[in-house]
Amino acid sequence: MARKTHRPDDILWTVTAADIETARSEKTEVTLGAVLDTRYSRKSLVKLFEEKLIHINGHKATPKDVISEGDEIWIAMAKEKIDYEPIEMDLHILYEDDDLLIVDKPAGVTVNSKDQVSLANGVAYYFKENGIKRKVRFLNRLDRDTTGCIVIAKSGLAQSLYQQQMDDNTFEKWYMATVEGIVEADEDSLVLPMDRSTDGIHYEVNPKGKETRTDFSFLCRHSSQPVDNSVHKLVKSVDIAQENVDIELQNVDKHGVNVDKSVHNSSKCGYTEVLVRLYTGKTHQIRVAFSHIGHPLVGDTLYGAQPTGQPFQLRAQKVVFTHMRTGERITVTA
């Protein structure tokens, strides 16, 4: 529904000569749609146009409206109904702005499973208590026993823009894992096709599956027995306002490092701590990749590890992305 007042999370900017030139084609006139196409995906703006939430100089606009240097563009964020039952939960917030909420997911809770209390219910409660009238949109998923960074978009526009960053690998997802055995390679890129197995529970490397990419570098090798929840203790929790958010202006490497080195499962004794960058987002991807090379995550009995009586060792350690409003590089660490 159209509204007349601005809210803090609305997007406002003044059209510049550079905006006009970037959007100009062979035609002499430049439309609002052409300028918006240089910033946002068309799909993300359809609903906003339908609800008359995009304006030029205070007037409701259409994509075909001609714009000029100095015009004021206002994109109003749509008000929505929260789509999960709000249930009070102690959330550890790592980062928040007008478009994103990033929390540190604990072990033992699902992200948004049906018919059980999940992180989505806690986020819905937080939205309700803070007057955030939006759907809960998760940009990444973590298994029940995986801890760390979970990213929630506060609008369809934010979801679209940050999903695009994930698709082109400018939204980086980093994990810390503890795997069985001594991984001899210092680093490697595991490019493997994966698909759901016939039992409907496991995932597996399958030539007919979707290609995945999992890069890693070793952090530490231990010849002793696997530790108790070591990966969850490697990084201390930090205060939201101080140490866990880092803003950078430098460009990020979108391609990573591909190394042609073999990975050897030299022994089931001992364990290796690894830093992992996930380029694709297949279910159980990290767990399947390391199990495939003979080094399942410590405690991950579903994928062949020895039982430890503890959850498997995997933590979403940090995310790095480009802020959709400022263009700054943001690093958030759990």
Domain count, the chain: 2
More confident residue, 1 or 302: 302
Residue 226: predicted pLDDT: 54
Question: 250: which residues sit within 8 A by CB, 6+ positions away?
Answer: 329
DSSP state of 206: -
What pLDDT, on a 0 to 100 scale, did the predictor assign at position 250? Answer: 41
Mean predicted confidence (pLDDT) in 163-187: 96
DSSP letter assigned to residue 254:
S
Per-residue model confidence (pLDDT) at position 225? 64
**Domain stops at, among 26, 42, 75:** 75
> What is the identity of the amino acid at 260?
D
On whether both 39 and 188 belong to a single domain, the answer is no
Whether the CB-CB separation of 73 and 33 falls below 8 Å is answered with no
Question: Residue 209 is part of which domain span?
Answer: 93-333
pLDDT for residue 170 is more than 60: yes
User: What is the model's pLDDT at position 246?
Assistant: 58
Q: Output the domain CATH number for residue 28.
A: 3.10.290.10
70 and 126 in a single domain? The answer is no
162 shares a domain with 260: yes
| Residue 262 in this model has a pLDDT that exceeds 70 | no
Does residue 247 have a pLDDT over 60? no
DSSP state of 175: E
Position 265 scores a pLDDT of 40
- How many alpha carbons fall within 13 Å on the CB side of residue 174? 15
Torsion angle of alpha carbons 22, 27, 33, 38, nearest 10°? -20
Residues 275-296: what's their mean pLDDT?
Answer: 96
Query: Taking Cα atoms as reference points, which of 200, 189, 172, 184 lies closest to residue 319?
Result: 172
What are φ and ψ of residue 44, in 5° steps? -70, -15
Do residue 24 and residue 120 come from a single domain? no
Average pLDDT, the chain: 87
What share of the chain has pLDDT > 90, as a percent?
A: 75
Q: Is residue 232 part of a domain?
A: yes
DSSP H or E run through 72 = strand 72-75
How much is the CA Rg of the chain, to the nearest whole Å?
23
**Smallest Cα–Cα separation from 110: which of 143, 136, 82?**
143
Helix (H) or strand (E) holding 191: strand 187-196
pLDDT at 245: 62
CB-based contacts of 129: which residues, under 8 Å, 6+ apart?
A: 86
Q: Are residues 270 and 127 in the same domain?
A: yes
Give residue 242's pLDDT band: very low, low, confident or very high (50, 70, 90).
very low
Alpha carbon distance 276, 279 (integer Å)? 10
> In this structure, which amino acid lies at residue 92?
H
Is 0.85 surpassed by the pTM of this model?
no
What 3-state DSSP class applies to 107? coil
Q: Is residue 82 part of a domain?
A: no
Pairing type for strands 54-56 and 59-60 reads antiparallel
Task: Give the separation between CA 170 and CA 161, rounded to whole angstroms.
Answer: 11
Q: Is the pLDDT of residue 157 over 60?
A: yes
- Do 65 and 207 reside in the same domain of the chain? no
Cβ-Cβ contacts under 8 Å for 195 (sequence gap 6 or more): 203, 204, 206, 208, 209, 210
Please check whether residues 30 and 146 belong to one and the same domain. no
Give tens-digit pLDDT for 13-62.
999 999 999 998 876 889 999 999 998 888 888 888 998 999 999 999 99
